[in-house]
């Protein structure tokens, strides 16, 4: 069983706006092409479009505008994976997808790639077989700040306390 991730970000970002911004479920490659066609963009030869994505507990892939919070895209629910997905286009055709697990709302672990790859393969979306960039997230045991780990620097950006090597973003009880 894949791990479920509940929203762990700031409470003020988890409120559902009204009306709810739209999201698109991707069931097949044609859904991506329809989503791409609906995005405003410059017309150049090489193009890249980036969206927010989440994979819900039913292994369904959802896209929302890149500026959307993942928790809004997930309608407040737990997810199996979350991050950003970029569609690399050539002459308006989808060539491949690049993904990251960058979601400071869910702080998913890099190992969520397993679920992501399973879903992309079932839809038939071309990918590189790994994250384009992957991130580690940790919650500071001293000040509760969520940290995005850069270059294996396991120290809190706010209070410089050492951060644990194990994923702990859901752990508020130890504070
Ligand atoms: Zn700290």
What's the 157 CA to ligand 1 centre distance in angstroms? Answer: 7
| The pLDDT of residue 125 | 97
3-state SS assignment for residue 93: strand
What's the 146 CA to ligand 1 centre distance in angstroms? Answer: 8
What's the 76 CA to ligand 1 centre distance in angstroms? Answer: 26
Mean of all residue pLDDT scores within the chain: 92
- The answer to whether 21 touches 64, Cβ cutoff 8 Å, is yes
Percent of the chain's residues with pLDDT above 90? 78
What's the 1 CA to ligand 1 centre distance in angstroms? Answer: 32
Q: Record the tokens describing residue 14, joined without a space.
A: 């988890």
What's the 173 CA to ligand 1 centre distance in angstroms? Answer: 15
What's the 142 CA to ligand 1 centre distance in angstroms? Answer: 5
What's the 109 CA to ligand 1 centre distance in angstroms? Answer: 20
- The answer to whether 88 touches 96, Cβ cutoff 8 Å, is yes
**CA–CA gap between residue 141 and residue 126 (Å, rounded):** 39
Which residue would you say has higher pLDDT here, 42 or 37?
37
Q: What is the pTM of this model?
A: 0.92
Residue environment code for 91-121, b if the CB has 16+ CB neighbours within 10 A, otherwise e: eeebeebbbbbbbbbbbbbbebbebbbebbe
Structural domain spans, the chain = 22-36+45-134, 135-175
Widest distance between CA atoms in the chain: 52
What's the 11 CA to ligand 1 centre distance in angstroms? Answer: 18
Taking alpha carbons only, the member of 37, 148, 45, 40 closest to residue 100 is: 148
Q: How many CB atoms lie within 10 A of CB 125?
A: 20
The predicted-structure confidence for 123-163, as pLDDT tens digits, reads as follows 999 999 999 999 999 999 999 999 999 889 999 999 999 99
What's the 175 CA to ligand 1 centre distance in angstroms? Answer: 11
What's the 107 CA to ligand 1 centre distance in angstroms? Answer: 16
The predicted-structure confidence for 104-126, as pLDDT tens digits, reads as follows 999 999 999 999 999 999 999 99
Q: Which helix (H) or strand (E) holds 55?
A: strand 46-56
What's the 159 CA to ligand 1 centre distance in angstroms? Answer: 4
**CA–CA gap between residue 102 and residue 49 (Å, rounded):** 16
The predicted-structure confidence for 17-28, as pLDDT tens digits, reads as follows 999 999 999 999
């Amino acid at each position: 069983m894949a791990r479920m991730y509940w929203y762990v970000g700031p409470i003020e970002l988890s409120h559902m706006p009204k009306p709810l911004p739209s999201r698109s479920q991707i069931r097949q490659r044609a859904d991506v092409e329809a989503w791409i066609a609906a995005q405003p963009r410059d017309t150049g030869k090489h193009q890249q479009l980036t969206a927010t994505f989440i994979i819900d507990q039913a292994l369904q892939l959802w896209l929302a505008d890149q500026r959307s919070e993942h928790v809004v895209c997930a309608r407040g629910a737990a997810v199996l994976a979350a991050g950003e997905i970029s569609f690399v286009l050539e002459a308006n055709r989808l060539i491949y997808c690049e993904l990251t697990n960058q979601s400071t709302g869910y702080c998913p672990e890099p190992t969520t790639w397993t679920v992501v790859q399973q879903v992309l393969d079932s839809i038939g979306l071309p990918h590189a077989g790994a994250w384009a960039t992957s991130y580690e997230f940790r919650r500071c045991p001293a000040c509760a700040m969520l940290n995005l780990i850069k270059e294996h620097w396991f120290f809190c950006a706010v209070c410089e306390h050492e951060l644990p090597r194990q994923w702990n973003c859901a752990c508020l009880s130890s504070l």
